[in-house]
Amino acid sequence: MDRLAPRLFLLVVGVLLATLLVVLALADRASRDQALTEANDRLEAAHGVFREQLRLRLASQAQLTEAVGSDFGLKEEIVAATPGSVSLEVTLRNFQRRGGAAWALATDPEGRILASTTTALPADTRLPFEDVLVEGGAGSLRRVDALLHQVIATPVHAPRPLVVGWLVFGFPLDDANMQNLKQQTGTTFSLLDHRDVRTAVLASGLDPAAREALPDRLLPQEGFTTVVLPQRGEDVVLVRPLDAEAGDRIHVVMQKSLSEALEGFRRLRLQLLVTSLLALALAAAAAWWLSRRISRPLTDMAILARRLGDGQFDTALPAEATGEVGTLARALTVMQHGLRERDEALRAVAYVSGLTGLPNRAGLVDALRPALAETPHVAVVVLDLDHFSDINDTLGHGVGDGLIAEVASRLANAAPPGTRIAHLGGDQFAVAIPVEERGDLDGRVGWIAASLAQPVTVEGLALHLGATLGAAIAPDHGDTAEALLRHAESAMYRGKARRDGGLTVYDPAHDHHSRQRLALMGELRGAIERGELQLHGQPKVHLGRGEVVGVECLVRWQHPVLGMIAPDRFIPLAEQTGQIRQLTAWVIDAATRAMRAAEDQGLSIRWAVNVSALDLLSDDFAGRVTQAMAVAGLAAGQLVIEVTESAAMTDPELAVRQLGELRRAGVKLSIDDYGTGHASMAQLKRLPVDELKIDRSFVKNLASDAEDEAIVSATIALAHRLGLSVVAEGVEDAATAARLAALGCDEIQGYGVARPMPVAELVDWVARHRSAVRAFVGGVAA
């Protein structure tokens, strides 16, 4: 696990535990060594006692045997005895009893047993241990009849030095002796004989179970050792050879209980253990406490660090930590403070407009994010200063900047509480206003226009300001600041396009519409290449002659998805994207081909093509047109170029030049949608046009509307006076046609005559509808 408290705890406890265990082990070892040493000392002492006892016994036994050996009666018996003498045996038995020996026997001077009180050493056999038959011998230990005996032999003199025989006594070292020794010394003695394959226990003070197990568990080697015996536990053992003469075979084994010896130490060990456990518990508690004191501040610091990562610079650390931890905590607090300051500075740079001190787009978005979460109804208004670029270009950026700053300050001062103002950049500002209801908005933006009403004085110049406003309201128009801004901007641009100086509220439908328009714009280029454009033509009928004299070419876009798209939908797009040139080129090309075809089929009429302002702006436009006509082998006079008033006015000089060039080539020129544009009479006068086309808005209600009739009438008169022919667009019925004829209009065009149709069908249509046309305009005097 990684946490500090348990780790420290475990470490301290572990170390202490290990130390205590080592101490306990050492104490155990030391006490055991001590017990062993003491036991060894006691065993050595016991051995000494044993040896001394043997010696004393031997001494007294020797004396006894000697005394018996000098008994006259015995001498007589021995001298008289033959092997197996009963009399001697009886005598021996008597002396044996007197002497406390286990057995007695008498031999002849050569060692042949004359009589014996033990069947183990029968009469008339040689004494197996003749080496004891030594004058003055101190006796030795011999094994007779599975017991060890101290064997004392004394020569029977008659008299000294004449030896008539030997008296041999055997004094046993038996269990009784061992018990005696045990009582005297507190040590358990055993006598082991290793002569045979299996070590025999000749005598022992041990209990039967231990006695049984002893030979197997004990190694027959001299010195100190320990042995574990059943029902006894662990004993310290001293093994010594019993008798030098007996060789290594017979050992006296002395043992004392080690467990008893260790008993005293057991208490010490218990005390040690208890103390250790107590110490352990205390140390553990202390370790835990200390680690908490460290780990808690560390955890707090970790939290602070995490919050720093999240951009929170306000975590407070408890001041209790001391030492290195405290130093770290204080350092972190200082760092937090520094980070906060830097963050604020960064924020200021990132989120604030340098020029105005207001939040910039990023700042507004950042500020709105939490606000939107709280208050769902927020309106974002984007305002764009009108003609700012003109001011910038004319008066310089210094003035422009000063203007922006002034606007910013006015807005800031005028803003009601709860309103956020931002400077999006350039001449765009944004205002975020909380609104309860949608309808509320109008009432809440008045202050914006009011603040801009007064002229701004910059460098001594009084500049009048205007702004276009676009608004998007949450949550209808978006729920994120970015979306709201985007939609508000979109609304603002729409307002700009409509030259609507007020507030335009975002319309999702329009947006959708404009999205679609944008899509179309992109597709338009491909449309030309993919052949999705079709050339249609709408016949123009001459009122006087009652026949088709011309065709206006119209482009239709057969969109694979949207179907047939009318020119008023995509022509403006083309103009915006500059693709109108390619479009017009295509139209010219298609028209010239259609003209050629119609011509070949016998239809010789004038074909009109719409041309935009952009087309007029290109220097080579006129040249291209004439060349196209030439290539098609068509007379220039068969082509009519229709331009709108506004298009002509975009760059009047250039328009005049281009149109003039076309005119000189022989192409006819027509002013389209006359009456709806911005051309003045003076400008019109200068244009080299041949024809005027009255806009359909005037024609539509001509029959019923007196004012429309007046306008049309006047226009026709004006045109004629200027030497121009007049075409009326949007004629829908015969009555209107009649009216127009009465007013002196030259040509008509409209649904009443024919809807636009693919140019390939034109020739056929004209052929089939000759009489219908004549009837439509019939009853009209030429």
Asked if 19 touches another protein (CB under 8 A), the answer is: no
The least CB distance from residue 112 to another protein, in Å, is: 18
Containing 731, the helix (H) or strand (E) segment is none
- The residue range among 11-19, 72-80, 499-507, 736-744 that interacts with another protein, by the rule CB under 8 A, is 72-80
Q: Nearest 5°: CA angle at 167, between 162 and 173?
A: 145
Binding mask 223-242 for another protein (x = CB under 8 A): --------------------
The least CB distance from residue 89 to another protein, in Å, is: 20
The least CB distance from residue 150 to another protein, in Å, is: 24
Q: How far, in whole angstroms, is CA 210 from its chain's centroid?
A: 72
The least CB distance from residue 31 to another protein, in Å, is: 60
Pair of tokens at residue 26: 């050492």
Instruction: State the amino acid at position 125 in one-letter form.
Output: T
The least CB distance from residue 164 to another protein, in Å, is: 6
The least CB distance from residue 136 to another protein, in Å, is: 12
Distance CA 631, CA 633 (A): 5
Query: Residues 314 to 353: which contact another protein by CB under 8 A?
Result: none
Q: Which residue in 256, 264, 235, 283 sits closest to 27, CA to CA? A: 264
The least CB distance from residue 47 to another protein, in Å, is: 37
The least CB distance from residue 63 to another protein, in Å, is: 13
**Residue 18 or 79 with smaller CB distance to another protein:** 79
8 A C-beta contact, residue 184 and residue 49: yes
Pair of tokens at residue 479: 């729920």
**Residue 164 or 659 with smaller CB distance to another protein:** 164
Query: Residues 419 to 438: which contact another protein by CB under 8 A?
Result: none
Helical H runs in 121-224? 175-185, 208-217
**Residue 95 or 506 with smaller CB distance to another protein:** 95
The Cβ-side half-sphere exposure at 636, using a 13 Å CA radius, reads 16
The arrangement of strands across the sheet holding 378-385 comes to 420-425, 428-434, 378-385, 467-473, 503-505
- The residue range among 69-77, 139-147, 565-573, 692-700 that interacts with another protein, by the rule CB under 8 A, is 69-77
Binding mask 272-301 for another protein (x = CB under 8 A): ------------------------------
8 A C-beta contact, residue 232 and residue 257: yes
Q: Which of 53, 70, 646, 676 is close enough to bind another protein by CB under 8 A?
A: 70
The least CB distance from residue 68 to another protein, in Å, is: 13
Long-range contacts formed by 293-299: CB under 8 A, 24+ apart: 293/321, 293/325, 294/4, 294/8, 294/325, 295/3, 295/4, 295/5, 295/8, 297/321, 297/325, 297/326, 297/329, 298/4, 298/325
Q: Count interface residues toward another protein (CB under 8 A).
A: 12
The least CB distance from residue 235 to another protein, in Å, is: 49
**Residue 158 or 665 with smaller CB distance to another protein:** 158
Helical H runs in 357-504? 361-374, 388-395, 397-414, 441-444, 446-453, 481-497
The Cβ-side half-sphere exposure at 270, using a 13 Å CA radius, reads 6
**Residue 79 or 282 with smaller CB distance to another protein:** 79
Q: Which residue matches tokens 């470490």?
A: 11
Name the β-bridge partners of 156.
165
Rounded alpha-carbon distances, angstroms, from residue 64 to 71, 90, 98, 169, 617: 11, 18, 9, 9, 164
**Residue 70 or 697 with smaller CB distance to another protein:** 70
Binding mask 136-165 for another protein (x = CB under 8 A): ---------------------xxxxxx-x-
- The residue range among 70-78, 139-147, 193-201, 704-712 that interacts with another protein, by the rule CB under 8 A, is 70-78
Asked if 134 touches another protein (CB under 8 A), the answer is: no
The least CB distance from residue 129 to another protein, in Å, is: 25
Q: Which of 28, 76, 145, 732 is close enough to bind another protein by CB under 8 A?
A: 76
**Residue 70 or 315 with smaller CB distance to another protein:** 70
- The residue range among 74-82, 124-132, 448-456, 465-473 that interacts with another protein, by the rule CB under 8 A, is 74-82
Measure the N-to-C terminal CA separation of the chain; round to a whole number of Å.
Answer: 110
Asked if 79 touches another protein (CB under 8 A), the answer is: yes
The least CB distance from residue 125 to another protein, in Å, is: 24
Distance CA 80, CA 165 (A): 11
Q: Is 600 left (phi over 0), alpha (psi -120 to 50) or beta?
A: alpha
The least CB distance from residue 72 to another protein, in Å, is: 5
The least CB distance from residue 167 to another protein, in Å, is: 14
Contacts of 611 (CB under 8 A, 6+ apart): 584, 621, 641, 642, 643, 647
Residue 110, SS3?
Answer: coil
Name the β-bridge partners of 555.
535
8 A C-beta contact, residue 653 and residue 690: no
**Residue 163 or 665 with smaller CB distance to another protein:** 163
The least CB distance from residue 76 to another protein, in Å, is: 8
The least CB distance from residue 48 to another protein, in Å, is: 34
**Residue 159 or 443 with smaller CB distance to another protein:** 159
Strand pairing of 250-257 and 188-193?
A: antiparallel
Query: Residues 158 to 217: which contact another protein by CB under 8 A?
Result: 158-162, 164
**Residue 74 or 123 with smaller CB distance to another protein:** 74
Binding mask 28-67 for another protein (x = CB under 8 A): ----------------------------------------
Distance CA 490, CA 482 (A): 12
The least CB distance from residue 156 to another protein, in Å, is: 10
Query: Residues 366 to 385: which contact another protein by CB under 8 A?
Result: none
Distance CA 227, CA 235 (A): 5
Q: How many residues does the chain have?
A: 782
Q: What share of the chain is helix, strand, coil (3-state, %, to 5)?
A: 55, 20, 25
The least CB distance from residue 105 to another protein, in Å, is: 20
The arrangement of strands across the sheet holding 163-173 comes to 113-116, 103-107, 163-173, 147-157, 140-144
**Residue 110 or 245 with smaller CB distance to another protein:** 110
Distance CA 634, CA 309 (A): 78
Distance CA 627, CA 606 (A): 17
**Residue 164 or 380 with smaller CB distance to another protein:** 164
Distance CA 504, CA 376 (A): 21
Q: Which residues bind another protein (CB under 8 A)?
A: 70, 72, 75-76, 79, 157-162, 164
